[in-house]
A and B are shown apart, each in its own frame.
Chain A
Amino acid sequence: MANIISDETIEYVGILAKLELSPEEREQAKKDMGSMLDYIDKLGELDTEGVEPMSHAFPVKNVFREDVVTNQDMREEILKNAPGEKDGMFVVPRTFE
């Protein structure tokens, strides 16, 4: 494996992804990420000079909707997906900046 992922990198990626990894999972993640980067490096060997970066696989463009209200109140349905509910709102762990 050409790409060696350091402990610091895996720690940082873990923080960004809000994941707590056990020591074993951490080692596995380092290996997985290393091989992913190897694969990207392999792709990088291709000559892409003059090729436009692609973000979508299908040649579709300009899909719009008109500015018309089509949704009615569906709070009850929506709140079924909430981790908890109070006063018609989603309950989440205490969060503030």
Chain B
Amino acid sequence: MSKQYETVIGLEVHVELATKTKIFCGCSTAFGGEPNTHTCPVCTGMPGSLPVLNKQVLEYAVAVGLATNCTITQYCKFDRKNYFYPDNPQNYQISQLYLPICRNGKVEIETEAGKKFVGIHEIHMEEDAGKLIHDEWDDCSLVDYNRSGVPLIEIVSEPDMRSAEEVIAYLEKLRMTIQYLGASDCKLQEGSMRADVNLSIREVGAKEFGTRTEMKNLNSFKAIARAIEGERERQIDLLELGEKVMQETRRWDDNKGESYAMRSKEDAQDYRYFPDPDLVPIVLDDAFLEEIRAKQPEFREEKMRRYKQEFDIPEYDIEIITGSKRMADLFEATVAIGSQPKKVSNWLMVETLRLLKENNMDPEDIRFSPENLAKLISLTDTKAINSSVAKEVFEVMFTENVDPEKYVEEKGLKTVNDEGALRKTVEEVIANNPQSVDDYRNGKEKAIGFLVGQTMKAMKGKADPGMVNQILKELL
């Protein structure tokens, strides 16, 4: 390759908002319902039904807009985007074209190449479509409208990104911001966050953008990175061969590591947008915006800075803990009860992460309370239980959120501090293991480990290993 190319990327990110009900009707947004059990005349597009905006959707959209430095459109409306497809029962999607709720924002991202801003062109509110299932037997399609009318915001970036790293950093930034706001859980795998990548290439130094393609079906950060590399190479190959890039929508197949052009609908994309007469204009006064602004949480960057100042824990721990709002809240609440930050951090970083991974869970799924974690830490601090018992108790606490004090009491797991009883057990162990005793006396220091182990076993794990060690040395 003789020429140097630059990749130009803009993103359209759809985020499913964490409301209890749909955007325009009182149907539940809960996952997993039987097909069409969360539907009503509004979200199935029955004639004569009247959509009414869910106020929480507006509040979330404004909160995300403020957090991403957007100008909020204080006179805002909904429009109809007209197209025929069976997953869209009204034959139009209610969306926003002319007056989207947020405009002209930006977020700062950081990659190895440094810090930069990515512009946000606009954020608009819209409704999700239903789900189509293809029935091979009867040669027909089946539609489930449970997702129809689930609230979405679409965040449209400026074409400001130049690499896969920047795209991932931007998505991470959006995800963290939105998760911290509680506006969505933003899970790519589950589709509550979906990113379409608009990508073009141009020769380094060129002023004009090249022809772009839009890539869909990207379900993980890894798939996004691979799709960007793949599409960049495909477009370069075309140009090097003297061919042209077609403006089209392509679908990424992450298993094959390649994309293909989606069957373009025969008619042109002519959506004939017009204002939705069923939905009245939204007029937001400054007081409303201030109210939302006042509710903005401490975001990740501020939190990281504060942790560095307030807590004596490693930077890596800070990064992991603040990487999830749930984890950060849990950490702060446990510390607030009085536990030592380093100890709280250790339980989160080691045992919690291990169990999350083993159970294929996200930090958001953590069930144990800060009170119980604080109790567990205090049980180990006072040496009421030893560290291996603590781990056992933690596992139970992790799955069932048991009160560790009660659990330890009920199961009789407290360390035996009765020195007399312990001394007696040690004496028995010494009597029963003459070989190890000889080994130790002949200078094999390691042999004592075996004797400690035997004593712990005899005590059913309920002894303080330090104390066992001490008594053993004394008696030997």
Q: Are B55 and A65 in contact (CB under 8 A)?
A: yes
Would you call the interface of chain B mostly helix, strand, loop, or mixed?
loop
Contact of B52 among A15, A63, A96, A97 (CB under 8 A): A63
Contact call A64/B141, Cβ cutoff below 8 A:
no
Question: Is the CB–CB distance between B35 and A89 below 8 Å?
Answer: yes
**Residues of chain A contacted by B36 (CB below 8 angstroms):** 75, 78-79, 88-90
| B435 proximity list for chain A (CB < 8 A) | none
In the complex, the chain B residue whose C-beta lies closest to that of A88 is B35
Residues of A in contact, count (CB < 8 Å)? 38
Cβ < 8 Å to A, chain B residues 30-51: 34-41, 44, 46
Which A residues between 2 and 60 are near B, CB-CB below 8 angstroms? 12, 15-16, 18, 55-56, 58, 60
Q: Is B37 a contact of A67 with CB atoms below 8 Å?
A: no
Q: Which of A60, A62, A71, A86 contacts B142 (CB 8 A)?
A: A86
Which residue, of B36, B272, B281, has the highest number of chain A Cβ atoms within 10 A?
A: B36
Q: Are A55 and B275 in contact (CB under 8 A)?
A: yes
User: B30: nearest residue on chain A (CB-CB)?
Assistant: A69
Q: Is B77 an interface residue (CB 8 A)?
A: yes
User: What A residues does B44 contact at CB under 8 A?
Assistant: 78, 81
Number of A-B contacts (CB under 8 A): 135
Complex: how many Å from CA A16 to CA B143? 22
Does B19 sit at the interface, judged by CB under 8 A? yes
B53 contacts A94, C-beta separation under 8 Å: no
Within the complex, the shortest CB–CB distance from B68 to chain A, in Å, comes to 22
Please, could you name 14 A-B residue pairs with CB atoms under 8 Å apart, sorted by A?
A56-B277, A61-B281, A63-B53, A64-B52, A64-B53, A64-B55, A65-B52, A65-B53, A67-B57, A74-B40, A88-B36, A88-B144, A90-B143, A92-B140
The interface stretch among B21-29, B158-166, B310-318, B387-395 is B21-29
- A97 touches which of B35, B56, B77, B262 (Cβ 8 Å): B262
Point out the residues of chain A lying under 8 angstroms from B85, CB to CB: 95
Q: Contact between B141 and A96 (Cβ–Cβ < 8 Å)?
A: yes
Tell me, yes or no, whether B134 is within 8 Å of chain A by CB.
yes
Query: Counting CB contacts under 8 A, is B132 at the interface?
Result: yes
Main secondary structure of the interface of A (DSSP, over half): loop
CA distance A68 to B263 in the complex (A): 40
Hey, which chain B residues are within 8 Å of A65, CB to CB? 21, 26, 52-55
Are A16 and B55 also in contact (CB < 8 A) when A74-B40, A93-B141 are? no
Question: Is A70 a contact of B26 with CB atoms below 8 Å?
Answer: yes
Bound: A62/B282 CA distance, A:
5
On whether the beta carbons of B46 and A81 are closer than 8 Å, the reply is yes
Instruction: Identify the closest chain B residue to A57 (Cβ).
Output: B277
Report which of A71, A74, A78, A91 forms a contact with B140, defined as CB distance below 8 A: A91
Q: How far is the CB of A25 from chain B (nearest CB, A)?
A: 19
Min distance, Cβ A86 to any Cβ of chain B, angstroms: 6
Q: Are B270 and A16 in contact (CB under 8 A)?
A: yes
Q: How far apart sit A79 and B140, CA to CA, in the bound complex (Å)? A: 17
Are B142's CB and A87's CB within 8 A? yes
| Residues of chain B within 8 A of A16, CB atoms compared | 82, 267, 270, 272
Q: Which residues of B contact A58 (CB under 8 A)?
A: 280
Which 9 residue pairs of A and B lie closest in terms of their CB atoms, listed nearest first?
Answer: A70-B26, A55-B275, A67-B56, A89-B142, A64-B55, A90-B143, A92-B86, A88-B35, A73-B37
B19 to A: closest C-beta gap in Å: 5
Given A73-B37, A88-B34, A88-B35; 11 other pairs, CB 8 A cutoff? A16-B270, A56-B275, A60-B280, A61-B283, A67-B54, A84-B140, A86-B140, A87-B142, A88-B144, A92-B140, A95-B85
Q: Cα distance A16–B379 when bound, in Å?
A: 71
Distance of A89 Cα from B21 Cα, bound (Å): 21
Residues of B contacting A92 with CB < 8 Å? 86, 140-143
